[in-house]
Amino acid sequence: MTTGGFDPNQGQQQFGGQPHYNGAGQQQHGQQFGAPPQFDSAQQFDSAQFGTQPFAQPDFGFNPSRPGELLPRLGARVIDGLIVGIPTGVVTIVISLVLGTFLGSVLGAILTAAAAVGYFVFLETTRGQTVGKQVLGLRVEGPNGGLPTQQQSLTRNGFYVVAALGGFPFLGFLFGLLGFVAAIIIAVTINGSPTKQGKHDELAGGTRVVQG
């Protein structure tokens, strides 16, 4: 007999009535009151469901060897050109006054070419940067990192020899024109390269100028 539709057996079933068994014969308790979930023996544990996948490495977008841009490199060349050009220009004037214009021009051009190549090769192979590159936060690396070799530095700075020979009498205009064309080619190839490597870097085996 029930009153108002109340079934006393229903309460017993929820609060400690007869236990239930799953298909494997294991006792299964009700989970209405926060009992821990029961897993079937054939059920696989999904680690992704509980967020136990390994964390990905954070990417802060930092690259310690960013390529040197064209404008800072041109600025460094201007600074280095003044460092080399002013002293050699003074010496050339003195030689011309003593030995005459023709001989002074020839010796001055040779001196300028030697001083420029020596300046760049020495500083790049011993420090990785000239004064101009140091001021603007640039440095030269070899194809495999580290300092470039003397041969590599000499190759990438060889166009200075052509440009410096522009002081030669008679043939100076031709050398100067070749030096100007070489500088344009280098600037264009630097600007068009994703790694900012110019034609002179390519000829040197893959040297590059980076920031830092």
What local confidence, expressed as pLDDT, does residue 192 receive?
94
CA–CA gap between residue 142 and residue 64 (Å, rounded) = 16
pTM: 0.66
What local confidence, expressed as pLDDT, does residue 46 receive?
47
Angle at 194 between CA 191 and CA 198, to 5 degrees: 50
> Could you report the per-residue pLDDT of 30-41, keeping only the tens digit for each?
444 455 555 454
The percentage of residues in the chain with a pLDDT greater than 90, rounded to a whole number, is 52
> Could you report the per-residue pLDDT of 115-128, keeping only the tens digit for each?
999 999 999 999 99
Supply the angle between the helices 70-99 and 172-192 in degrees, to the nearest 10. 170
Q: How far is CA 210 from CA 30, 43, 64, 76, in A?
A: 68, 56, 9, 13
What local confidence, expressed as pLDDT, does residue 58 receive?
39
